[in-house]
């Protein structure tokens, strides 16, 4: 297995190099040269595996033999040993035909922990094996930052700097990032929104000299390893709802911002998992909903919502999907992305749109609908959804699926987004790990949202 760029100008590279490269050097995104196809017989043999065992099976198709099996195994077990649920990602029935896949049992109570705990271990492993410095740089709409910091704080040979939009993350998200006291962590609170943060990071990563001389590494979902780790729970959830029975399709509803998590579902489908529809749930920042419905990808105006981790207009991972829906034609991707850069939007042809609609359905869940969904499920089932998971459930109800079962991804614990829960008139009790954050001192630097101001901070920190 080797990796190539969606824009066609990176030679075939191995797993660890792809992991370290993050954004491809030609500005594209790295994808596997060939997606492995898992036969039904092999799927059947995976039915009863634990999450960790399943992850090792899936990764064995992608790691190119570059990491000895026992080393990978140690990293996987260390990562998920820190989860509060023994199943790692338990599935629970919400009502007939609708199941929730709980992805928030990791250290920071959001799904980002699943990939980032493992990536923290991997960065540490590579830093030791190759005796190299690793300077992680990332932008966050709130959850990735907390999770990435948690994955690498205090680790030898690694420094991490996270940009978050000033006062546009929830209180708990802010506390999770800024109450960490280890000296290898820098939090920059940037005047602007998430898209500003992400754009500046992308520019820095695209400057190959800067990236190399500063030893930059990416934890955003531009990193393929993050996507790969997330495919595991699609398989795991599928087996929980279908094992021992006929392998009919299952739909998945996915609260979406950067198109990362839902792309992991698409990858699972391409690998042969019987996935019916992938339901794309957005909030008012609904560029992706418009893409699925109309074939137009054009960022609109940024809006702050009850589900801040999805307040994203430019979806980094969209290009990966474009690559596949255009039949792996890197030239066509490069030219469309160029058009996007110059004209601020792209439109796909009708035939392509039909293919998009075969795989995806979409619904943008607006504020009131989100809150109403939280209230409804609390009243009817006693289950308290966080606002992101509520968008997933609302979209699952609204969209026409293709299967008798839909698994909706619960991407965060409600305690992370108490602002929205309170608006529903619901009082919740915080888990102890979150409650204790409120007494801790915070460390962060507030900066202007310009590349110059950020580079100045980075030069000091990475010196």
Ligand X SMILES: *Cc1c(COP(=O)(O)O)cnc(C)c1O
Specify the residue, 127 or 391, whose C-beta has the smaller distance to ligand X: 391
The tokens describing 7, both together, are: 């824009």
- Smallest separation (angstroms) from ligand X to the CB of 307: 7
The tokens describing 296, both together, are: 């137009």
Residues 249 and 275 sit within 8 Å (Cβ to Cβ): yes
Q: CA-based angle 142:407:250, to the nearest 5?
A: 135
Specify the residue, 99 or 388, whose C-beta has the smaller distance to ligand X: 388
Residues 418 and 380 sit within 8 Å (Cβ to Cβ): no
Residues 283 and 307 sit within 8 Å (Cβ to Cβ): yes
What are the respective helix, strand and coil percentages of the chain, to the nearest 5? 50, 15, 35
Please tell me the number of Cα atoms within 13 Å of 46 on its side-chain side. Answer: 26
**Rounded to whole angstroms, how far apart are CA atoms 119 and 331?**
31
- Smallest separation (angstroms) from ligand X to the CB of 255: 4
- Smallest separation (angstroms) from ligand X to the CB of 71: 27
Catalytic residue flag (residue 112): yes
Q: By beta-carbon distance, which residue lies closest to ligand X? A: 260
Specify the residue, 334 or 415, whose C-beta has the smaller distance to ligand X: 415
- Smallest separation (angstroms) from ligand X to the CB of 447: 23
Q: To 10 degrees, the CA torsion angle through 325, 328, 334, 338? A: 0
CB neighbourhood size of 67 (10 A): 20
The tokens describing 119, both together, are: 């990536």
Sign of CA dihedral 279, 285, 291, 294: positive
Specify the residue, 79 or 316, whose C-beta has the smaller distance to ligand X: 316
- Smallest separation (angstroms) from ligand X to the CB of 128: 29
Specify the residue, 104 or 340, whose C-beta has the smaller distance to ligand X: 104
**Burial 107-139, CB ≥16 within 10 A → b, else e:** bbbbbbbbbbbbbbbbbbbbbeeeeeebbbbbb
Residues 416 and 428 sit within 8 Å (Cβ to Cβ): no
CB neighbourhood size of 234 (10 A): 27
The tokens describing 250, both together, are: 């299952």
Specify the residue, 141 or 189, whose C-beta has the smaller distance to ligand X: 141
Binding site for ligand X (CB under 6 A): 110, 112, 143, 221, 255-262, 309-310, 388, 411-412
**Rounded to whole angstroms, how far apart are CA atoms 439 and 128?**
35
Specify the residue, 110 or 458, whose C-beta has the smaller distance to ligand X: 110
**Rounded to whole angstroms, how far apart are CA atoms 160 and 415?**
25
**Rounded to whole angstroms, how far apart are CA atoms 169 and 281?**
20
- Smallest separation (angstroms) from ligand X to the CB of 225: 14
Which one-letter DSSP state was computed for residue 43?
A: H
Closest to 103 measured CA to CA, from 77, 85, 121: 85
**Rounded to whole angstroms, how far apart are CA atoms 224 and 215?**
18
The tokens describing 353, both together, are: 């749109």
- Smallest separation (angstroms) from ligand X to the CB of 364: 14
- Smallest separation (angstroms) from ligand X to the CB of 147: 8
Specify the residue, 192 or 308, whose C-beta has the smaller distance to ligand X: 308
Catalytic residue among 73, 112, 153, 416: 112
Q: Which residues are catalytic?
A: 112
């Amino acid at each position: 297995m080797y990796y190539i760029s969606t824009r066609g100008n990176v030679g075939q590279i191995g797993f660890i190099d792809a992991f370290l490269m993050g954004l491809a050097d030609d500005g594209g995104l790295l994808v596997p040269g060939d997606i492995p196809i898992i036969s039904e017989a092999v799927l059947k043999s995976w039915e009863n595996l634990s999450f960790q065992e399943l992850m090792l099976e899936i990764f064995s198709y992608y790691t190119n033999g570059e990491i000895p099996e026992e080393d990978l195994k140690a990293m996987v077990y260390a990562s998920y040993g820190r989860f509060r649920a023994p199943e790692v990602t338990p599935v629970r029935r919400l009502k007939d035909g609708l199941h929730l896949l709980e992805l928030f049992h990791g250290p920071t109570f959001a799904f980002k922990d699943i990939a980032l705990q493992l990536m923290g271990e991997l960065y540490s492993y590579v830093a030791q094996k190759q005796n190299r410095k690793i300077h992680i740089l990332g932008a966050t709409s709130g959850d990735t930052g907390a999770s990435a910091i948690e994955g690498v704080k205090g680790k030898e040979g690694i420094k991490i700097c996270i940009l978050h939009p000033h006062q546009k993350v929830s209180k708990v998200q802010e506390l999770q990032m800024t109450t960490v006291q280890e000296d290898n962590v820098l939090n920059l609170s940037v005047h602007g929104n998430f898209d500003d943060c992400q754009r500046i990071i992308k520019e820095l990563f695209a400057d190959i000299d800067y990236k190399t001389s500063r030893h930059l590494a990416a934890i955003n979902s531009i990193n393929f390893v993050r996507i790969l780790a997330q495919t595991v729970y699609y398989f795991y959830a599928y087996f929980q709802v279908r094992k021992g029975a006929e392998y009919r399709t299952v739909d998945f509803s996915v609260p979406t911002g950067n198109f990362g998590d839902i792309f992991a579902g698409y990858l699972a489908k391409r690998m042969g998992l019987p996935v019916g529809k992938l339901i794309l749930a957005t909030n008012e920042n609904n560029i992706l909903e418009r893409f699925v419905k109309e074939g137009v990808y054009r960022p609109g105006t940024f809006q702050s919502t009850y589900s801040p981790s999805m307040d994203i207009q430019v979806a980094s991972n969209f290009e990966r999907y474009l690559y596949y829906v255009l039949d792996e034609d890197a030239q066509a991707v490069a030219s469309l992305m160029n058009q996007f850069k110059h004209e601020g939007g792209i439109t796909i042809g009708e035939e392509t749109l039909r293919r998009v609609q075969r795989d995806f359905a979409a619904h943008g869940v607006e504020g009131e609908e989100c809150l109403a969904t939280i209230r409804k499920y609390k009243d009817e089932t006693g289950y308290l959804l966080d606002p992101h998971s509520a968008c997933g459930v609302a979209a699952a109800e609204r969209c026409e699926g293709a299967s008798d079962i839909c698994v909706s991804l619960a991407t965060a614990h409600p305690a992370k987004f108490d602002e929205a829960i309170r608006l529903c008139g619901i009082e919740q009790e915080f888990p102890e790990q979150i409650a204790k954050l409120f007494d801790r001192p915070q460390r962060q630097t507030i900066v202007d949202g310009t590349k110059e101001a950020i580079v100045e901070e980075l030069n000091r920190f990475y010196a």
